[in-house]
């Protein structure tokens, strides 16, 4: 039996990401009359062939592992096109404040509002509300060990789908993010490092004469030329 089209149908019809274990179980349940059950290895091999198939430029979508399982996702080149179907819902951008709050939750989760505000230094009520409305974060309970038992926030499945990751462990490491903005020091070769610098020019001291003229100070000049009034005046 060719199981590939059945796997395609399952991934396409599912309202949530499916992993290889779930797909194996679903197919075996659908064809329970088979004498020999399909193995996880057989299903994974079929999945790999499907991933290769839809990676072709002939398809505007692909099968990717995202949100904890496999999904049909539109390729990046077509994102602006399909955004037209939902207008502002897809085109609307998050504010910088919301993005900062989302980043803190993503890297510090599970985290409370107080902990977020201690990092950002400002009130985050509005940002958190917007992230909840967009279903990018969810409330997972309360911190029973903190005073007042504050709510605890984590990123959602929608967040993982949107960014194409399976868990918070797939987020880029902070050192990798910051490394992109670092300026590497200029390395001097041996010849350059051994060249002696030329001596600095002798410092010139300027003074104002009694006539209001700017002139070079000479150590042996009469003191009257430095600060005193012009005797001829």
Half-sphere exposure of 197 (CA within 13 A, CB side): 3
Residue 84 confidence (pLDDT): 78
Residue 200 confidence (pLDDT): 46
**What is the rounded distance in angstroms from the CA atom of residue 140 to the CA atom of residue 162?**
20
Nearest to 36 by CA among 13, 70, 3, 6: 3
Greatest alpha-carbon pair distance for the chain in Å reads 124
- Domain definitions of the chain by residue range: 4-80, 93-179
User: Would you say the C-alpha torsion 61, 130, 167, 176 has a positive or negative sign?
Assistant: positive
**What is the rounded distance in angstroms from the CA atom of residue 173 to the CA atom of residue 184?**
19
- Reading the chain (233 residues) residue by residue, the pLDDT tens digits are 789 999 999 999 998 889 999 999 999 998 876 677 889 999 999 999 999 999 999 999 999 888 778 999 888 888 788 877 765 555 467 788 998 999 999 999 999 999 999 999 999 999 999 999 888 899 999 999 999 999 999 998 878 877 767 777 777 776 555 454 444 444 445 444 444 444 444 545 555 555 555 555 555 444 444 444 444 44
Residue 46 confidence (pLDDT): 95
Residue 82 confidence (pLDDT): 80
pTM of the model: 0.51
Instruction: Decide if 4-80 and 93-179 have a common fold.
Output: yes
Residue 52 confidence (pLDDT): 95
3-state SS, residue 70: strand
Residue 162 confidence (pLDDT): 73
Residue 6 confidence (pLDDT): 94
Determine the number of helices (DSSP H) and then strands (DSSP E) in the chain.
Answer: 12, 7
User: Do 97 and 126 form a contact (C-beta atoms < 8 A)?
Assistant: yes
Residue 208 confidence (pLDDT): 52
CA gyration radius, the chain: 34
| Top CATH class, 4-80 | mainly alpha
Q: Which two tokens stand for residue 177?
A: 């993010």
93-179 — its CATH code? Answer: 1.10.10.10
**What is the rounded distance in angstroms from the CA atom of residue 3 to the CA atom of residue 38?**
9
Contacts of 34 (CB under 8 A, 6+ apart): 1, 28
Residue 171 confidence (pLDDT): 78
Q: Where would I find the beta strands (DSSP E) of the chain?
A: 61-66, 69-74, 111-112, 137-142, 151-155, 206-208, 214-216
**What is the rounded distance in angstroms from the CA atom of residue 172 to the CA atom of residue 153?**
20
Task: Quickly tell me which residue has 């003191």 as its tokens.
Answer: 223
């Amino acid at each position: 039996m060719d199981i590939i089209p059945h796997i395609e149908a399952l991934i396409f019809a599912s309202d949530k990401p499916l992993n290889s274990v779930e797909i194996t179980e679903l197919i075996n349940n659908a064809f329970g009359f088979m004498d020999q059950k399909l193995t996880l290895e057989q299903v994974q091999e079929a999945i790999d062939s499907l991933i290769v198939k839809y990676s072709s430029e002939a398809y505007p979508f692909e099968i990717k592992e995202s949100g904890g399982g496999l999904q049909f996702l539109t390729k990046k080149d077509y994102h602006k096109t399909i955004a037209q179907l939902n207008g502002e819902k897809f085109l609307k951008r998050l504010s910088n404040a919301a993005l900062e709050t989302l980043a803190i939750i993503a890297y510090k989760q599970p985290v409370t509002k107080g902990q977020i505000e201690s990092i950002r230094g400002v009130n985050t009520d509005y940002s958190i509300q917007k992230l909840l409305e967009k279903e990018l974060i969810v409330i997972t309970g309360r911190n029973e060990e903190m005073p007042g038992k504050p709510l605890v926030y984590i990123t959602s499945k929608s967040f993982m789908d949107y960014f194409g990751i399976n868990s918070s462990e797939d987020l880029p490491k902070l050192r990798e993010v910051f490394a992109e903005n670092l300026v590497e020091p200029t390395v001097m070769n041996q010849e350059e490092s051994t060249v002696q610098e030329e001596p600095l020019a002798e410092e010139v001291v300027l003074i104002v004469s009694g006539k209001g003229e700017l002139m070079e100070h000479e150590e042996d000049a009469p003191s009257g030329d430095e600060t005193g009034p012009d005797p001829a005046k």
